[in-house]
Structure 1
């Protein structure tokens, strides 16, 4: 075997495709059984952040849509992308990796499209229809896979089949084989419990982070993180991260933070749900307010577009009493909420005609919630027009401030959606060069060992711009597969 890829998500498959196009014989080993394949990528909406020059620059690889004629997609330059990466990570992003990401994400999507992956504009997630029937996309995130994460993974699998890549499921890779300081293969436990040694010239690690390992979450992220809901695959336990570190690989990135979002709190089966996948997120929060079990607001819901805040607010909720919060909307705002999320089967929601009655239904003090809502309503400058397609500056000057999209909650019925912290992936990973070649603690490259996807450390810290995870997966997956 020429190349072994460990992990069958977006990054792993992309790496396999890149190696296969070079004529390499590729074996992809996936820990999950066939019916649970796809890694975290299966659970995503498929949104991928790329730089571009506007709608005309996208039409060569996105699906046709009659709405394109009445749609504005603002240009999003590599410089915009790099600034967003620096902004949301407080400058802790690796500049070399970032430079590659922002310039190669779009060409890599075009390459994947040429192989068979399908993309479209994400109207339902990234644009509001305006009164004149036109659409304006916002937040720098515009393109996604047809069929979301499920469509993404099925497209990848079809491409792998056409390229002759062998995919094996139920392969519990737990160790790395070495010879003379070089990685020469893997140790893998088969579904029947037997252990095999598989050898190859190169091993590409694309097995995800440690978010599904409660012990590692508590150790690296801190107390309480073991209680976060696992949004995606239950197979990302950090096993291969630990194996690489044991071999002497260097750490990179922020091992103390992760992608965490607002997640349905009480719906049964709200972890690793293959049917509802990303529908368990609650991402229309910039329109309303979020309160904790004391009836108090605790974040600036309108700090920025959702794309730049949603991956960090899960942490804020985990820190609240009971690790529970409630998104509050009124009847005026309710039609604007994302239907795929807020009309999900079994959604955790309570309604009432009065704020005080709503508080009682969700177990909050009625006077406390009513005061929070009234203070918020009375602090809004109504002279500023409300426009969800731009950062409209319509503030609520209560505490904490809401910086944009403040709208009085005055019209019943009122709605409360219970949310908790959902953990998506951890930001700490392995150190590599810009081609995915893993570095040792000594600073030298480890021959034969490569990394991509969520195992690659250095891009994200504390937060990330929405869609940059899948983008990083394809960019550095392609790079690793191109040199392995």
Structure 2
């Protein structure tokens, strides 16, 4: 059996790779995934469908989005997001450790890839519900991220797989890859397990897009450390790292931050693995509007350090490291109405209400709060710091769409530790609300070394002929943190590059 190209993984990166290979000349393309059809889409299915891209502002994006009327367009504030902006976000959040050539490759390919996906009927929208606040009657976008897909990850995967069907890409589910076929140091196909038997399939090119190891508790402990077995898996249970070992078996070089991952604030009552119906709704990213306290009643992060989409991917780890591995998010009535309904709707999350902070602490003690007195003191000290800052800066105003500098800093009180750097409002107007959150792991950062132009997998001596990689299996791009929306963009960019490169392989 022969295919021009075989892609491993049915998520966003694998789908883009298969589409790209097909349209660039591969006549027969096969996509395989070890999951059943009910789990199609990998982690991409569980995302909010957000794509970070370079753009020149609203007029540049209006032709590709489907949810903006001319009247609405006149009430939108949306700044351009430059190449320099995007690269700087990747580099600064990665502590300057990210491979500059990989970052540049993603950034430089981002805008054209958005157009390419739109051409394959991916329904892009402006992300009013996640990335904009209404301020003074205008929709103000923030944090550099403005695009998402109608229907989120579900809509993305549906659109991409409709395109795969139209392109006549063959897809085999329940079909794990066992090994790679090699001849003269060139990858010439795969061995898969299908219907209980091993089957060898020859191919001129193989593209690995099988995700990271976040669903493998043993590998999480081995690479991330003890305690990570307690993290809830936000997405697919099939990302268990198998293909890393398979690639290493043919000499692939591993690279990047194997000790870190994308981990976010997640509903404590969510299932241990991703829910195909609620998917991303278990995210609890409203913490910049309030504060987070651990079981001992203490704050442990600067909730206003940066825009939410620059902090949410590492605050899950901060929660995991707290006593018992959970925390409480707390707001008063001034902020409750601003929380996103898809994350904090009554049918989504268990909410704890009280008319006083003392009453809230008492109720939370029944679900894990250990020190009620410390909880109350923390809120009181926080409120005093916020009030003092406002007294010293009477002309400053709260604005959730900019870094407003409303903080806990003042000259007359001892510095809070941790401080809150932006969006600091007192928590003093009842009713008060809290939700219990934990760590949700999304994807791991360590992976395979690739060439940033061709997406070819590298060995210690150079590219491995016939082998390419895209998506969460790529290492060296993200370290410790990442800019929200850049994961799907990177998967699509390198998937597309891998497909082009696969079409040029001559085989043996």
Distance 1:169 1:115 in 2: 23
State the shift of 1:204 in Å.
0.0
Match of 1:469 among 487, 491, 494: 487
Alignment of 1:280-359 (within 5 A): 280-343=282-345, 345-359=347-361
| 2:379 maps to 1:367 | no
Shift of 1:23: 2.3
- 1:103-118 superposed matches below 5 A: 103-118=108-123
Instruction: Provide the residue aligned with 2:401 in structure 1.
Output: 389
Give the superposition deviation at 1:366: 2.3
Deviations 1:275-302 (A, max 9, x none): 1100000011111000000000000000
User: Retained in 2: the 8 A contact 1:93–1:461?
Assistant: yes
Q: Which residue is equivalent to 2:385?
A: 379
**What corresponds to 1:439 in structure 2?**
458
Structure-1 residue corresponding to 2:505: none
1:82 to 62, 80, 87: 87
* TM-score of the two chains, using structure 1 as the length reference: 0.98
Tell me what 1:240 maps to: 243
Q: Which of 169, 172, 175 is matched with 1:171 structurally?
A: 175
Question: CA–CA distance in 1 between the matches of 2:346 and 2:473?
Answer: 31
Give the CA deviation at 1:180: 1.3
Deviates more, 1:338-347 or 1:294-303: 338-347
Whether contact under 8 Å (1:355, 1:366) holds in the other structure is no
Q: Match of 2:60?
A: 57
1:344 Cα deviation (Å)?
5.2
Aligned equivalent of 2:160: 156
Counterpart-to-counterpart distance in 1, 2:52 and 2:346: 26
Correspondent of 2:209 among 206, 210, 233: 206
TM-score by structure 2 length? 0.93
Q: Is the 8 Å Cα contact of residues 49 and 156 (structure 2) preserved in structure 1? A: yes
Task: State how far apart, in whole Å, the 2-side matches of 1:451 and 1:331 are.
Answer: 48
Distance in structure 1 (CA, Å) of the matches to 2:104 and 2:263: 25
**Alpha-carbon displacement from aligned partner over 1:59-95 (angstroms, at most 9, x marks no partner):** 1211142322211111100000011111100001111
Structure 1: 5+ residue runs without aligned partners? none
Q: Check conservation: 1:5, 1:206, Cα contact below 8 A.
A: yes
* Separation of aligned partners in 1, 2:145 and 2:133: 14
The answer to whether the 8 Å contact 1:129/1:136 transfers is: yes
What is the root-mean-square deviation in Å for CA atoms of aligned residues? 1.0
Instruction: Count residues with an aligned counterpart.
Output: 480
Alpha-carbon distance in 2 for matches of 1:288, 1:147: 28
Output the CA distance in 1 between the equivalents of 2:478 and 2:73.
33
Q: What is the rounded CA distance, in whole Å, between the counterparts of 2:426 and 2:262 in structure 1?
A: 30
Checking the alignment, whether the CA contact within 8 Å between 2:213 and 2:444 is kept in structure 1 is yes
Deviation sequence 1:133-183 (CA, Å, 0-9, x none) = 211100000001111100000000010111111111111112111111111
Distance, in Å, in 1 between the alignment partners of 2:255 and 2:46 is: 25
Counterpart in the other structure of 2:466: 448
Retained in 1: the 8 A contact 2:8–2:207? yes
Q: What does the per-residue CA deviation read over 1:396-455, in whole Å, with 9 as the maximum and x for residues that have no partner?
A: 132211000000000111111111000000000000101210011x22211110000000
Q: How far apart, CA to CA, are the structure 2 residues paired with 1:457 and 1:174? A: 22
Secondary structure of the residue aligned to 1:445 is strand
**Segment of structure 1 superposing worse, 442-451 or 356-365:** 356-365
3-state secondary structure, aligned to 1:45: coil
Preserved contact between residue 67 and residue 126 of structure 2 (Cα < 8 Å)? no
Q: Out of 178-187 and 310-319, give the one that drifted further.
A: 178-187
Contact 2:260 2:479 in 1 (8 A): yes
* Aligned mate of 2:130, from 121, 125, 130: 125
- Equivalent pair of 2:261/2:443 in contact (CA under 8 Å): yes
| Corresponding residue SS for 2:423 | coil
Structure-2 residue corresponding to 1:185: 189
- 1:246 shift after superposition: 2.2
In the alignment, what sits opposite 1:4?
A: 6
1:196 is displaced (CA, Å) by 1.2
